[in-house]
Amino acid sequence: MSQRLPNYLRTYRKRACLTQDEVAYLLGTWNGAKVSRYEGFKRRPNVQAVFAYRMIFGVPVRDLFAGEFKKVEQVIKRRTHLLIKRLERGKGNPVIEKKLSKLRSIISNQDTHIIEEDYGPSKSEATTYHCH
């Protein structure tokens, strides 16, 4: 598997034929210096900038920040396995069973459960995992 860059902001900016100053303007900053730091992996954009990039380039966040996404995905998967082991001690409890079901679905179908940025969670997911 090839190594992914932390982000592909420069790639998508170039494809859009926009300058760093133009993207900076869209982001609400004064000049392209901040955009340059984002593109050069020297600074991480805040959540507002991440959503702005999503809107500007029309590309899912997981593609814009592919390397970062992969790192987060690996951490979540590892933590999910550990949490499953902890919760399995309470098997039989209906709330614990719901939690275990959700956690197992994260592991088995990582792509559709961690980020639902284009469509949001399905109605079945929104109603199935309510814990009261």
What pLDDT digit, counting tens, does each position of 73-91 carry?
Answer: 999 999 999 999 999 988 8
**Maximum Cα interatomic distance, the chain, rounded to a whole number of Å:** 58
Which ranges in the chain belong to alpha helices (H)? 9-15, 20-27, 33-39, 47-57, 61-64, 66-87, 94-108, 110-114, 123-128
Q: What is the token pair recorded at 36?
A: 């340059």
Query: How much is the average pLDDT of 17-28?
Result: 97
**Model confidence at 110, in pLDDT bands (50, 70, 90)?**
low
pTM above 0.85, yes or no: no
